[in-house]
Amino acid sequence: MACNLAGKTALITGAAGGIGSAIAELFDEKGIRLALTDIDVTQLKEHAGKYRQEPFVGKCDITSRKDIIATVEKVKDHFGHIDILVNNAGIIIPSLYEDAQYDDIDKQVAVNLLGPMYMTRAALPVMKDGEGGAIITVSSLAGIVPETRSAVYVATKFALRGFNLTINIELKERGIFAGAVFPDSVNTPMLRYEATHGGSPLTFLGLPQQPEQVAEAVYRAIVKKKIELYVPYSTAFFSKILACMPWIFPPVWRMLERSGEKKKKKFQEKLEKEDML
């Protein structure tokens, strides 16, 4: 795909959230036409007025194949084609795996894994009818290394990595590039939810990134055709080295969790102070 993306059409899932909204803002600045979807269509419509170009806004339950297929058809009817798909929607329901509720397992798999797979499958025929394009998945550092109290979330992100690497090979002849962005913790409502609902201490080890940094990585992945990008970039080396030595996880993780627990408490205290203002 050409470096100048002005005039291209991007379909973004989970566009009402912190990262999704930041991606939409950046794409709008670059002249990319926006098709924004989320289950929270009210929030989408509230954001719509801030964009330079009028976006397509549609409610889409990423767990429903019927919704996904209908959404892709509506975007095709509205813009004529789809050049960029950003699989951004995701959820986490923290808990020790032994305490995980079956419905919570199903929901995370449906949103985080099956949703992007279904959306990609539905969008491909429309993308193939055009001049190629790009599919970018917003994953997580938890797709490279484990994260306690998040076993199901981790499983979905590990699976997405394999899915992404495979379709990137398969779709090359079609002129469609597939890449993924792996952020560390990001300052979003989801991070605040994790802080107050038993999230993993490992999530709080580093300074939270801003949604805009993830958005920049998504854009860079498209124009530079980066199969994998990490936010911040410094996490890539350490994470990949650890991933090659699974036997080191138990002792190292116990040490990291102790440090993460202290930082998690500080983050919780910060949230409490903000709530008091």
Residue 179 resides in a domain: yes
- Strand 133-138 vs strand 176-183: parallel, antiparallel, or unpaired? parallel
- Tokens, residue 100: 């995980």
Can you give the CATH number for the domain in which 68 is found? 3.40.50.720
Residue 51 resides in a domain: yes
Enzyme catalytic residues: 153
Residue 1 resides in a domain: no
Determine the pLDDT at residue 151.
97
| C-alpha to C-alpha distances, 187 to 17, 69, 180, 183, 234, nearest whole angstrom | 11, 31, 19, 11, 18
Reading the chain (277 residues) residue by residue, the pLDDT tens digits are 556 899 999 999 999 989 999 999 999 999 999 999 999 999 999 988 899 999 999 999 999 999 999 999 999 999 999 999 999 999 999 999 999 999 999 999 999 999 999 999 999 999 987 778 999 999 999 999 888 999 999 999 999 999 999 999 999 999 999 999 999 999 998 888 898 888 988 888 888 899 999 999 999 999 999 999 999 988 877 777 877 788 877 888 788 888 888 888 888 888 888 775 4
Residue 3 resides in a domain: no
Residue 4 resides in a domain: no
Residue 174 resides in a domain: yes
| Vertex 235 angle, CA 176 and 270, to 5° | 115
Angle between helices 115-128 and 65-79 (to 10 degrees): 30
d(CA 151, CA 147): 7
Residue 57 resides in a domain: yes
Number of domains present in the structure of the chain: 1
Residue 2 resides in a domain: no
Q: Which residue has the tokens 């930082």?
A: 263
Q: Give me the domain span that covers residue 194.
A: 9-276
